[in-house]
Amino acid sequence: MLEVKDVSKKYGKLMANNHLSFTLEDGMVGILLGPNGAGKSTIFKSIAGLLRYEGEITIAGYVNKTSEARAALGFVPEIPAMYPNLTVEEHLDFIARAYRLKDYEERKEALLRRFELDDKRRKFGDELSKGMQQKLSICCALLTDPKLIILDEPLVGLDPHAIKELKKTFEELKAQGTTVLISTHMIESVDMIWDKAFILYRGELLATLTKSDLDREGVSLEDKFFELTEGGSEE
C-alpha cells in the first residue's frame, strides 16, 4: 500500500531524510518512532506530496503526487491547519465536495459525535482550541474513508476522551483493513495494534521491526527503541 524507495530530503546541508526505504503492506498498522528531529514529519510531508525530495513514493501503486494516490490518502499533519473563515461543519462539507463524496452525512455526524465536536459545528476555524483543531483535522482525514491514513503525532494535545476514541478508531481502521501509519512518542498508546515499526534516527532508518519478531524475542518495543537510539534527542 505504501512504498518509500530511497527517499532523501535535504534542508540546506542537513539530511533530514537519508536514503529511506520502507514498505507498509495492505491493512498493516505501522508506527514511526524517533527522537525529536529524527525526520518523522519530513517523511510524512513527503508521503503527502507536500515537499520536493529525491527518490520515489507510491501509494496503492500510484506515484504519490497523482490524483489516484491523493484520493487514497488521508493525512493528519503534526500542526493542524484549519481555515479561519470556515466552521467545523463547513470544513467537513468542503472536504466532501473536494473528494466528491456521496452520502457522507451519516459518517460526518458520527465523526462529530465521536470526537465531541457536534456542539461546536458552528464555530469557526480560528475559534477552536488547539485540541479541537486537532480533532477536526482527524475528522477531515477520516471522512474520505482513505485506503491509507498517515497521522503525525495525532495524540498530542488531545484530552483523555479524544485519546480513547482515537485509539478505538485505530482498532476499527485495522479491523476494516485500512492501512495506517502513525508517528508518535507515546509508544504505550499504540502497543496493542502495531504490526511494523520503523525506527528513525538522525534522518536514517535504523531498523524495521515486526511485532511478531519482537514477541518471539520477548522484547518490548520501548526497550528495543531505547537500545537502538540510546543517546536520546539530537537537538
Q: Which residues bind ligand ATP (CB under 6 A)?
A: 11, 14, 16, 34, 36-42
Q: Which is nearer to ligand ATP, 75 or 104 (CB)?
A: 75
Q: Which is nearer to ligand ATP, 66 or 208 (CB)?
A: 208
Sequence-ordered strand ranges (E) for the chain:
2-11, 14-24, 29-33, 54-59, 62-63, 73-76, 148-152, 179-183, 196-201, 204-210
Q: Which is nearer to ligand ATP, 153 or 165 (CB)?
A: 153
- Say if residues 222 and 187 touch (Cβ distance below 8 Å): yes
Minimum Å gap between C-beta 43 and ligand ATP is 7
Minimum Å gap between C-beta 149 and ligand ATP is 18
Minimum Å gap between C-beta 42 and ligand ATP is 3
Q: Which is nearer to ligand ATP, 38 or 136 (CB)?
A: 38
Q: Would you state the cell numbers that stand for residue 116, as one nine-digit string?
A: 465531541
Minimum Å gap between C-beta 206 and ligand ATP is 13
Minimum Å gap between C-beta 230 and ligand ATP is 17
CB burial of 63-77 (b: ≥16 within 10 Å; e: otherwise) equals: ebeeeebbebbbbbb
Q: Which is nearer to ligand ATP, 57 or 95 (CB)?
A: 57
Q: Which residues contact 25 (CB under 8 A, 6 or more apart)?
A: 1, 179
- Say if residues 232 and 38 touch (Cβ distance below 8 Å): no
